[in-house]
Chains A and B, each alone.
Chain A
Amino acid sequence: MSGVLRASGSTLGRCMCIITGASKGFGRALAHLVLNYLKTGSVLLLVEELLQNLKDMQEITIFCTVADLSTKEGVEDTVAMARQQSLKEIDHVLLINNAASLGDISPFENFTELERVNSYLAFNVSSVLALTAGMLQAFPPRAGLQWSVVNCSSMFAVQALPSWVLYCTAKAARDMMFRVLAVENPNVKVLSYAPGPMDTQMQEDIRRLTGIQYHLHPCRDSAAKLMRLLLDNDFVTACHVDFFDL
């Protein structure tokens, strides 16, 4: 972080910002919000299932790419796309690993099929490590290049919930994965942010599958809290922070 001069708390700098799962929900709210904090010359790379075009902003390059992150090709294509920007004068890389799926909500003993479980873990765990690794290689951390990684986590990374074995297991794996990343890379700030229950398709699916209706918060409120954490940048690396903690 030496050599980076920016007004603390007000911008993300000249940033290469990558957000996965950006087509809807929390990812989309983040994409919209982050634009307010990117300085001229920044690049925003949105990885999504469906191509949604953000309003063109002057001086900030926005790429929207459709990639299936459950596949090796999807991850590699995303990294390749980011790599094309690696010659720009970026002073901050911000990677937000948001894309995720709920998986089947079902009693533990129903999960007898390896393929199904592997497929879930490929998208929710493997792709996150592979993508993060790819971005670290494309933009090696160095003096003058700030690096921040967000892991969109969950209360259920920490608390076991009956019938949610896939989701809990993957979130627990991710939290630990990012803790290891932080230990290995003291110059990369890592944040596991649990955004709380929001008004998203995922919560719709939860309600439909479980009948449980949580009190939902607007995505933009949770996105705003995350943004404040990133701008203030005084969180302890690798900590797990919940929307309700703030």
Chain B
Amino acid sequence: MATLGRALCIITGASKGFGRAVAKEMARLVEPGSAFVLVARSGDELRTLQTELAESGLEARCVVLDLSLNDSPERIVRTAKEVFSPDIKHVILVNNAASLGDVSRFCKSFTSMAEVDSYLSFNVSSALCLTAGVLQAFPKQSGLRRCVINVSSLCALKPFASWVLYCSGKAARDMMFKVLAEEEPDLRVLNYAPGPLDTDMQMVARTRTGESTLRKAFSGMFDEGQLLTCEASCAKMMKLLLEDKYKSGDHIDFYDV
């Protein structure tokens, strides 16, 4: 069976939803001696996940913090270095943590710079700084595979009314990781759009979206059972990683695989 090797997996937003599914799925695909760094704001849920991984014989560290604080990237990197060992041949960073922003409102209501700054800090800057820190901590070396994943969205490519923050943030991230892919050809960079997942974020989308047609579309997907499970989407992402044939920097959607 194909595996991800002996890996160090760093996953943000790991307490629930897609991030949690990624952690659990990766745990099945890594070899003994692998280690996980799980990052989220909620300690309880992370610790439950940590226990589950420990039951599979995997070391997992929880880093409970708000990603948009200045010292957060550094704290995560420090923990990653602590669990790393020279036996580890694969470093995988999954930039999954994200927020929707206030989707009940339209562009013309975003007069507060503080609100926009705060959104970009969490959804764009923190991903850049964490990735940069991880790359510095685990520089290119022969025998070490390095993979950076950006959990993207259709919203990175297509504008949606009342979703200005989320669309702008996702578009920014896709470009950020494309630049990274161009700069470091030995690095594997994947912009993966997981599709419409049955998560807390999706619930906010269908209940709070300001644009009524869009809100109804989300409700419709839920009512018709068209939402994907995190596990199903995660399985496709793992397939991409295991086959390892994707072009670094590409945007690949669940429905493309």
Contact = CB atoms under 8 A, between A and B. Distances in A.
A and B form one complex: yes
A15 B68 CA distance: 41
A112 B73 contact: yes
B24 to A, nearest CB: 29
A173 B168 contact: yes
Contacts of B169: 173
A172 interface: yes
A121 B124 contact: yes
A92 to B, nearest CB: 18
A106 B129 CA distance: 13
Interface string A24-47: 000000000000000000000000
A133 B120 contact: no
- The A interface is mostly helix, strand or loop, or mixed, namely helix
A146 interface: no
Contacts of B104: none
Contacts of A79: 111
Contacts of B171: 172-173, 175-176
B26 to A, nearest CB: 23
A180 B179 contact: no
Given A109-B135, A168-B175, A118 B160 contact: no
Interface in A143-202: 157, 160-165, 168-177, 179-185
Contact of B168 (A113, A137, A161, A176): A176
A115 interface: yes
Interface residues of A, number: 53
B112 A137 contact: no
A238 B136 contact: no
B175 A133 contact: no
Interface stretch (B181-189, B193-201, B217-225): B181-189
A20 interface: no
Interface in B44-85: 68-70, 72-74
A133 B161 contact: no
29 contacts: A108-B132, A108-B180, A108-B183, A109-B136, A110-B132, A112-B73, A112-B132, A114-B68, A114-B126, A114-B129, A117-B124, A117-B125, A130-B110, A130-B116, A132-B107, A132-B108, A134-B111, A160-B182, A161-B179, A165-B128, A168-B175, A169-B175, A173-B171, A173-B172, A175-B171, A177-B167, A180-B163, A180-B164, A183-B160
Interface of A: 71-72, 75-76, 79, 107-115, 117-118, 121-122, 125-127, 129-130, 132-134, 136-137, 157, 160-165, 168-177, 179-185, 238
